[in-house]
Amino acid sequence: DTGVSQDPRHKITKRGQNVTFRCDPISEHNRLYWYRQTLGQGPEFLTYFQNEAQLEKSRLLSDRFSAERPKGSFSTLEIQRTEQGDSAMYLCASSLASGDEQYFGPGTRLTVT
């Protein structure tokens, strides 16, 4: 499969628990982006990586959120002490280089109960 993949596709967790999502970008894509999408809204930017370097974080990314891309390939997004307001679809996208088309993954749907 040559597309962007994300795991898991669905996650249900209780408030206060920690969750971690994984994104595998298209091979050789240097840029990796995380977005969050709630029902009826457009995706909102969270953070992005150039290879292993995290270059920008949105103000939406509170201290409970952390993202890594340790070897410049896959990335993880962790949410600590989840809240109901964290319920959303978390989308990952990758691009070959800056300014190129961003290819989206299928997303991880998080439900916090």
Partner 1 sequence: GENVEQHPSTLSVQEGDSAVIKCTYSDSASNYFPWYKQELGKRPQLIIDIRSNVGEKKDQRIAVTLNKTAKHFSLHITETQPEDSAVYFCAASKANSGYALNFGKGTSLLVTP
- Nearest approach in angstroms of CB 30 to partner 1 is 11
Q: Which is nearer to partner 1, 25 or 43 (CB)?
A: 43
- In the block, tokens 């920690």 appear at 18
- Closest by alpha carbon to 111, among 19, 27, 6? 19
In this complex, which beta carbon is closest to partner 1, that of residue 29 or of residue 82?
29
List the one residue out of 88, 63, 75, 64 whose CA is nearest residue 29.
Answer: 75
Minimum Å gap between C-beta 34 and partner 1 is: 10
Between residues 13 and 58, which has the closer beta carbon with respect to partner 1?
Answer: 58
